[in-house]
Amino acid sequence: MIKNKIGIGTLILLILLVVMALIPAVSAQEEKDYSVTTENAFKHANANMISFIAAGTPGFENWTGASVDPNPLELYDINGKKLFFRFSVYKENKLIDTIDVCADKTLGPSIYDIVFDPEPYKATEAMKKSIEIAKSEYSDGKIKSTNLVVYSYPRIGAMTVVKDKTTGIEHRIFVDAYSLNEVEDKPATETEPGIWSMYDKILTNGKENNLKEWQKSDELAKSIEQAAANKGVNINAAVTEENIKKLSDEGVVKSSFTGKILDINGIGQERDVFCGPACIRMVCKYYNQPTPIPTQDTIYRGDGLWNWNPASIYTSGLSANDVVVWATYRWGKTGTIASSFSDSVAISEIENNRPFFSMIPGHFRLCKGYIVQDGYTYLRINDPLPVGSTYGNPGLLERTYGSSESTRIYVR
C-alpha cells in the first residue's frame, strides 16, 4: 500500500511538472503566432505594389518594370521586438523606393510606409561603430546584441546593448545610420530629438483592433496574388507593363484610389533641430510669403517673433506653439494645434488646399496630400530628414491607421 501511495504521488508530481513546462511553451507559441515571416511580408510588399500601380496612384508612375528585392533589412524597435521588414524596390539596378512591412501582426495593416527616392544609409558602418563605442566605454561589459533599430522614427540607427558584468546594468549605444554620429540615449521631447519606442506608440490603439486590421490586409494581399496567378502573372517577378495592363484592363486587380497631392517640394533640414524651420520654409514657398522667403536659420531664430536663450541655440527645436505664432504674424492665418487625428479632417484640409504640420515625437513633417486606397488612408508627407537632404525630396506615403503622429497643426 505504501508503494502505491508513493507511485500516485510521483505521478501527480510528474503531471504538474509537465503542465508547468508546457505553460511557457504555449505562451511562447501564442506570441510567435503574431510574427510575420519574411516570405509573407514579401508577398504583401509585392501585392500592394501591384495594387498601387494598377490603380494609377500618384507617386507610382515610375514603378512599372520595377521589382522588390526579396531580402529585406530587418528593423527592430528599441524594446528589442522586430518592427519592420524594409524591402528595397529596384528599377534598372537603381534603388527607387523602400516599403516597410510590419513584422508583427499586432501592429495593424501590413504596409506602414513607402519612401520615394530614399537617401541611402550606412547600416554596416553604423553597427560596427556602435560595437566599437560599446567596447570602448564598457570594456568590462558583455555585448548582448546589435541590431538596426528605428530609434526615433523615421531615424534609423544601430543599437548595441552591453551589460555591465559587475552591476548587471544594461546600457544602450545608438549610432545614426545616416550621419554615423552617436546619439544620446534620452527620451524625445516636443522640442528635442531623442529616443522613443514606435512599437509602443502604435500599440496604443489596442492589440485586438490591430490584429483585425492585419487580417484585412492579409486577405487583400492573398486575393491579389490569387487573381494574378489565375492570369499567369507571378507577382513576385518584375512588374512588366504587359502584366499590369493585363491585370488592370481585365479587372483582375480592382484597385482604385481617391486623393489629392499639393504641389509642394520637399526641403531637407540643415541642422538636427531644423525640422520645424524646414517645414515652415516649405509652406512659405507654397504661400509665397513672406517675401523674400526667409532662410531656415532666420525662421529658427524667430525673425523677430521670439528670442532664444543662448544656451538653447542649435540644441533645442521649435515648438508647436511657435508655428502658431509664425502663422499669425507671417502668413496672416490661424494655427490650430490638434491632438486627434481624424482622416476626414486631414482630407478636408488638403481638399481646401491647406497643407498641415504632422508631428511625431521630437520631429516636424509637412503633410501635402492624401490617398485612400483599398480601404486605407495614407498621408503624403514631406519629411525634412535626413539632415542635408536635397531640395525636392519626394518624401513618403504613410498610413494613418495606428500611425506615430503626436500632434497636428492646421493652418487656416
Instruction: Identify the residue whose cell numbers are 502663422.
Output: 327
Q: What is the pLDDT of residue 32?
A: 54
Residue 11 has pLDDT above 80, yes or no: no
Looking at residue 187, what DSSP letter applies?
B
User: Which stretch of 1-15, 47-61, 255-269 has the lowest confidence by average pLDDT?
Assistant: 1-15
Where residue 27 falls among pLDDT bands split at 50, 70, 90?
very low
Say if residues 15 and 192 touch (Cβ distance below 8 Å): no
CB 153 within 8 A of CB 135: no
Residue 244, pLDDT score:
78
Q: Report the pLDDT averaged over residues 336-343.
A: 93
> pLDDT higher for 131 or 54?
131
pLDDT reported for residue 252: 61
Q: At what angle do helices 275-287 and 320-330 cross, to 10 degrees?
A: 30
Assign 249 a pLDDT band (cuts: 50, 70, 90): low
What pLDDT band is residue 385 in, cutting at 50, 70 and 90? very high
| 4-12 contacts, C-beta under 8 A, 24 or more apart | none
Q: What is the mean pLDDT of the chain?
A: 88
| CA of residue 338 relative to chain centroid, distance | 21
Residue 219: predicted pLDDT? 95
- What architecture is domain 258-411? Alpha-Beta Complex (3.90)
Asked whether the predicted pLDDT for residue 4 surpasses 50, the reply is no
pLDDT of residue 250: 59
Nearby residues of 376 by Cβ (< 8 Å), 6 or more positions away: 109, 111, 217, 399, 400, 401
Does the pLDDT at position 1 exceed 60? Answer: no
In the prediction, which pLDDT does 366 show? 98
pLDDT of 82-105, one tens digit each?
999 999 999 999 999 999 999 999
Q: Can you read off the three cell numbers belonging to residue 267?
A: 526641403
Per-residue pLDDT, averaged over 23-33, amounts to 47
Q: Work out the average pLDDT over 221-231.
A: 87
Q: What φ, ψ does residue 312 adopt, rounded to 5°?
A: -100, -10
The residue ranges of DSSP E strands in 69-123, in sequence order, are 73-76, 82-91, 94-102, 111-116
Cα atoms found within 13 Å of the Cα of residue 125, Cβ hemisphere only: 10
- Least reliable range by pLDDT among 161-170, 242-251, 337-346, 393-402: 242-251
**DSSP 8-state assignment for residue 50:** H
Q: Binning pLDDT at 50, 70 and 90, where does residue 321 land?
A: very high
Rounded distance between C-alpha atoms, residue 92 and residue 203, angstroms: 38
Does the pLDDT of residue 267 top 50, yes or no?
Answer: yes
Q: Grade residue 395 by pLDDT with cuts at 50, 70 and 90.
A: confident
Per-residue pLDDT band at 402 (split at 50, 70, 90)? confident
Q: Inform me whether the pLDDT recorded for 237 exceeds 90.
A: no
- Helix, strand, coil in percent for the chain, rounding step 5: 35, 25, 35
Is the pLDDT at 251 greater than 70, yes or no?
A: no
Distance (Å) of CA 32 to CA 25, 36, 105, 215: 10, 9, 10, 16
Handedness of CA 107, 405, 50, 217 (dihedral sign): positive
So what's the pLDDT on residue 147? Answer: 97
Q: Determine the pLDDT at residue 403.
A: 86
* pLDDT in the model for residue 240: 82
The arithmetic mean of pLDDT across residues 44-73, rounded, is 90
Q: DSSP labels for 125-185?
A: HHHHHHHHHHHHH-TTEEEEEEEEEEEETTEEEEEEEEEETTT--EEEEEEETTT--EE--
Rounded distance between C-alpha atoms, residue 156 and residue 150, angstroms: 5
The confidence band for 246, taking pLDDT boundaries of 50, 70 and 90, is confident
Q: What pLDDT is attached to residue 253?
A: 66
**Model pTM?**
0.88
What's the pLDDT at 277?
98
Query: What gap in Å lies between CA 368 and CA 355, rounded to an integer?
Result: 5
| Distance (Å, whole) CA 45 – CA 194 | 30
